[in-house]
Chain A
């Protein structure tokens, strides 16, 4: 989260709604550790990352939904071997994310 602080400060002082996605658990191989974080604004601006670029697009969609509904949620992404267009980690692991509005 440390690397996001400047962006978070800027967005908060501008009154922009922000959702935070944090890696809370990893199974198997994953490119980023537990604690990796990504922030998404209501305008779709992004800071940070939660994987090596494999799932960030899908996280933006989830984060915007969280902002729209206000509902915090757990989201998991795993390996998808037979469905080429499914979102997943190419390295074979599963990451579990907690996504919530930055309203605290």
Chain B
């Protein structure tokens, strides 16, 4: 451990690299030695690029690069322990791996009143928001300045393009409540690995839509993936309240909670 090649250098540009990747919303992880000989040594890890910096040992760098890519893909951060050369089940070095995953995506189909409120709340929660509607008159940036992107397109066509990029952390909210748009949008949404699919509508609209979805070939497993009618049962009335109901449902699904009032439940609040 005494050769100069293994000494981590104080490398000012590491912060710049990290900052630029975070700003560009490009996935990046920062590994920092928090206990060990080279406390403070750092490695910047990206999915498809060579790592920058060093934790003080080339073997350790290699192992941490692999582990950090795994943590990054899962969007997790935490401490891992290694031997001086990256050995597992040893504790000479503690490394904090912090993942900066790009923001989750929310696709909102239907350029209606509820869309603007939902897009606003989704932005507060850190989503990258796309509003999509086939009607050019309604899908305008003027009406949805809070959205990151407004697309004039049929929902199913947009999903054909971007659906493969959607994952567990992302959400699709179908607010069109018009069977003509809903049914193809739901069918395309079910073909993705998106974590949440919510479909707006009254109980009656929901029943009618369910029939049409079955006619379109959607099976029971597909229907069970849908949150329809969309949202938690909090008695929401206004578009803003409905947006809170929808986003609360998304959070509860992610955490696997049964979304009751805290008043009637026990256990840690932030769990």
- Interface residues of A, Cβ cutoff 8 Å to B: 1-2, 5, 8-9, 12, 22, 24-25, 28-31, 33-35, 72, 74, 91, 98, 100, 102-104
Contacts and interface: CB of A to CB of B under 8 A. Distances in A.
B23 A104 contact: no
B14 A28 contact: no
A72 B42 CA distance: 13
Nearest to A26: B270
A104 B12 contact: yes
B96 A100 contact: no
Interface SS, A side: loop
A102 B100 contact: no
B19 A9 contact: yes
Interface in B80-125: 96, 98-100
Given A34-B77, A98-B96, A100-B40, 15 more contacts: A1-B98, A5-B22, A5-B23, A8-B15, A12-B15, A29-B270, A30-B270, A34-B78, A72-B39, A74-B35, A98-B34, A103-B10, A104-B11, A104-B40, A104-B53
Which 4 A/B pairs are nearest by Cβ-Cβ distance?
A29-B268, A24-B96, A72-B40, A98-B34
B256 interface: no
Contacts of B100: 1-2
B38 to A, nearest CB: 10
Nearest to A103: B10
A79 to B, nearest CB: 13
Contacts, number: 57
A25, A102, A104: residue with the most chain B Cβ atoms closer than 10 Å: A104
Interface in B16-41: 19, 22-23, 32, 34-35, 39-40
Nearest to B9: A104
A98 B269 CA distance: 25
A98 B94 CA distance: 12
B268 A22 contact: no
Contacts of A35: 77, 98-99
B19 A5 contact: yes
Contacts of A34: 77-78, 98
Contact of B270 (A25, A91, A98): A91
B255 to A, nearest CB: 12
A28 B268 CA distance: 8
Contacts of B259: none
A104 B78 CA distance: 20
Contacts of B271: 29
Given A34-B78, A72-B40, A91-B269, A2 B22 contact: yes
A4 to B, nearest CB: 10
A31 to B, nearest CB: 6
Given A2-B22, A22-B98, A31 B270 contact: yes
A42 to B, nearest CB: 17
